[in-house]
Chains A and B, each alone.
Chain A
Amino acid sequence: MSIFHNFYIGLQNACYIWRKEMQQVFKDEGVLMFFIVVPLAYPLLYSWIYNNEVVRDVPVCVVDESHSALSRQFIRMCDASPDVKVAYYAQDIDEAKSLVSRQLVKGVYLIPSSFTADTYGLRQGTISVYCDMSLMLTYKAIFQTAQVVSMEMGSELTKKLGGHYTARDEAVAARPLDYDDVPIFSPSGGYGSSILPVVLILILQQTLVLGIGLSAGTARDENPYRNLIPLGDKRYEDTLPIVLGKSLCYLMVFAIMGTWLVVIVPRLFNFPHLATWQSLLAVMTPYTLACIFFGIVMSCMVKYRENVMLLVVFISVPLLFMTGVSWPQSNIPGYWQGVSWLFPSTFGARAYVRINSMGATLSDVQTEYHILWLQAGVYFLLACVVYRFQVYRSRIQAKERLDFLRHKRAQTFQNNSAD
């Protein structure tokens, strides 16, 4: 009987705290901004930024000292390729350099005067490629185009020089071992398709932590002792109802925002979305829970409400790197791998990218899935510990205050009677 009664009271308190937290979330502009506005707007913004996926028509400058049919063929073929555009012709390398310095071109193709003679004289014709290395994507476009064009022209020449009899003979001689280049998963090789899924997952974690931190900061600001729980409210006496009530509120908000982030946005902008709803749900549930409890634990370390921004925002970029998508996971030093274990986003992003962009099943991401549940569990316990401490502190403070009032009253009473 008493167990059931206690359970009932606990449930009631949890519901009360849930309602209070809900009210606070929708009353507080700052929290609302991080819970609703940022998760809604940022994905759209990032999708817009990376919408074009690849760079086309990178401007290059050609210094043609050869002025031959062969060199002109090379220039024509480069210009016709999708990635490079021959924007300028320069007289010499100095002029080309000045074009680079004015940011008009990103690279230079220099065809020396001996090019044709060398090529036909079996001495290997050389084309020099100078790249501005400040942008990796344009460097790749310029270099790879030159490589592909030179190989294509080269195999044509080999056919002519080889002295073969039939067309088939020529083809085999040019390439005795044929090969196929197959990019599986995100075949367009787009920058957005690779980076955006991780950004979405990170937005979820960071906005949650920021929002929870801000809301906790407000609670602290409102409390005369700068405690996390309101003074003298009987319903805030037990740890479990507090943690459950609060996280239920966040979970409800982020069930919606999470769906928007991981289901709707990729479909809206046609980024890869191969995941089945079952595996997506299976991964996102522990991830969201882990983020919520992580946010609650973090929020206890915040002294003033605005400080949370100073602590949380800058971590986003290192976290992005630690997920192993922009820099290969196999090359992250061990100690940083260890640090990355603290954050749910590391495993959330890895699991999400694999099931969503690569069509993996839940069993393929089992490690990540288990770690996410583990994190959710550990952070839940930590959140309980932290709130337990808050309850304890507020009890002591309440007692102090009571003693202080009693003492004061006794004093005034004494004074009165002395009068």
Chain B
Amino acid sequence: MIYLRQIYEIMMRELLILRQNHIYRFCMVLFPLLVIVFFTSILDDGVPTSMPVGVVDLDNTSMTRSLTRRLDAFQISRVVAHYPSMSEAREAIQRNEIYGFLYIPKGTTDKLLAKRQPKISYYYSNTTLAAGSMVMKDMKTISTLGSAAVGQATMRARGFTPQQTQALLQPIKIDLHQIANPWSSYNVYLTTVMVPGLIMLFIFLISSYSLGTELKFVTSKKWLELADNNIVIALTGKFLPQTLIWLAIIFSYEYYVFFHLGFPHLGSPWMLVLIALMQVLASQGFGIFAFGLMPSLRMSMSISSLWAVLSISMAGSAFPIMGMDGALQSLSWLFPLRHYWMMYQICIFNGFPLIEAWFHFAALTAFMLLPWLVMNKIKNAMLTYVYIP
């Protein structure tokens, strides 16, 4: 009973601290909300549309013009300019005016009609990877369609049915099923790792910060006194209000993204609750551990921020872990975001049972228990250390 009383006292004290220091307001509420709004609004299109491409049409016949028109009609590409020569189109790419261009040499139509197999080409820049590969897809389709149009006309003349013509032009077709993300929306794919990753960064930082400032503002002894020098009570009381705030932020993120914006979530809604809980507790565990490892405000915060920024790459959502070197594949286990993301994509995105993500569940639990290892060191630091800038 006395423990509950102590925890209550420390919680009230913590709430007061959270209210007095403005930085908490910013980092626990304002910035996370800003990050959520940023990613969901910048990626709102889902798939980039109307990306500028150019055309170098040296042939300029009705056939090539119809090719250009069809390219323009695609959702992803928009023909913004015609260039008189190849080098001018290349310079336009270098000036960031277009992402790629279609090159149609002189005499294409003549050769096509004379069955001399003319060659057109399309150029795209890979320095902007997403844009480049998307306009490439469109220009490739257009080039194939150009072939098909000629073939179609010949075959119709020979008396094939439309079905047979289709089969002759493309004997084998691919029936694509994009499971859970049929729009191949980048919003679904990026927001769900970037936002949790940045919220984790804030949890790491604030956890180390709130412990370190006890030393900096010389309030640590009073804090421990309230808990009768029982570090478990002291930590519980201190971090419980923060946990609740973080949970509120993450639940509102999940509500906004999965229910308002309708991101795919095939698992049960309880899984969202579970993963939010795991995320907050594991990150707090890491933040406290970082401080316990080096009980200095500056060092623990540096570790937290460097680790959190790295974890966005090491989550393996953009560039997959299996494409990295072996050593990095093992190192990825040390990043809470990696396990969070795996759990998300197995249990929520794809809706498989939790047992398939048991390893990542266990790893996140291990992160929650990390403070246990450094508990005594933190107590010692709080009672004896002096803040060094």
Contacts and interface: CB of A to CB of B under 8 A. Distances in A.
Interface in A364-400: 364-365
B41 A179 contact: no
Interface stretch (B5-13, B248-256, B298-306, B375-383): B298-306
A326 B129 contact: yes
A419 interface: no
A184 B320 contact: no
Given A33-B302, A123-B167, A306-B209, A194 B126 contact: yes
Interface residues of A, number: 118
Given A122-B168, A133-B178, A313-B205, A175 B117 contact: yes
Interface stretch (B86-94, B237-245, B283-291, B364-372): B86-94
Given A134-B349, A137-B319, A176-B150, A150 B174 contact: yes
A29 interface: yes
B306 A38 contact: yes
B178 A327 contact: no
B177 A102 contact: no
A79 interface: no
B110 interface: no
A188 B346 CA distance: 31
Given A124-B171, A147-B174, A133 B184 contact: yes
Interface stretch (B227-235, B272-280, B323-331): B323-331
A283 B324 CA distance: 33
Most chain B beta-carbon neighbours within 10 Å: one of A102, A157, A304 = A304
Nearest to A50: B319
A250 B169 CA distance: 64
Given A184-B125, A191-B129, A358-B127, A154 B172 contact: yes
Contacts of A197: 127
A324 B328 CA distance: 28
A179 B104 CA distance: 10
A131 B174 CA distance: 12
B318 A313 contact: no
Interface string B331-373: 0000000000010011001101100100000000000000000
A392 B323 CA distance: 57
A307 interface: yes
Given A131-B177, A134-B350, A177-B143, A125 B172 contact: yes
Nearest to B192: A134
Contacts, number: 328
Contacts of B143: 177, 179
Contacts of B127: 185-186, 193-194, 197, 272, 325, 353-354, 357-358
A330 B38 contact: no
A329 interface: yes
A93 to B, nearest CB: 10
B324 A183 contact: no
A93 B177 CA distance: 13
A237 to B, nearest CB: 26
A222 B306 CA distance: 26
B50 interface: yes
A189 interface: yes
Interface in A134-176: 134-140, 143, 146-147, 150-151, 153-154, 157-158, 161-162, 171-173, 175-176
B260 interface: no
Interface in A85-126: 100-103, 119, 122-126
Interface residues of B, number: 117
Contacts of B178: 131, 133, 139
B224 interface: no
Contact of B44 (A55, A192, A322, A333): A333
B15 interface: no
A127 B325 contact: no
Interface in B127-185: 127-133, 136, 140, 143-144, 146-147, 150-151, 163-164, 166-181, 184
B309 A193 contact: no
B317 interface: yes
Contacts of B35: 314, 318
Contacts of A134: 180, 189, 317, 345, 349-350
Contact of B23 (A46, A101, A176, A310): A310
Nearest to A350: B96
Contacts of B172: 74, 119, 124-127, 150-151, 153-154, 157
A129 B93 contact: no
A318 B313 CA distance: 14
A210 to B, nearest CB: 9
13 contacts: A136-B186, A151-B170, A177-B150, A184-B123, A184-B124, A192-B319, A310-B209, A317-B197, A328-B99, A329-B96, A336-B41, A357-B127, A365-B95
What are the 3 closest A-B residue pairs judged by CB atoms, nearest first? A180-B121, A179-B143, A360-B94
Interface of B: 23, 26-27, 31, 35, 38-39, 41-45, 48-52, 90-91, 93-96, 99, 108, 112, 115-133, 136, 140, 143-144, 146-147, 150-151, 163-164, 166-181, 184, 186, 189-190, 194, 197-198, 201-202, 205-206, 209, 212-213, 216, 297-298, 301-302, 305-306, 308-310, 312-314, 316-320, 322-325, 328, 342, 345-346, 349-350, 352-353, 356, 389
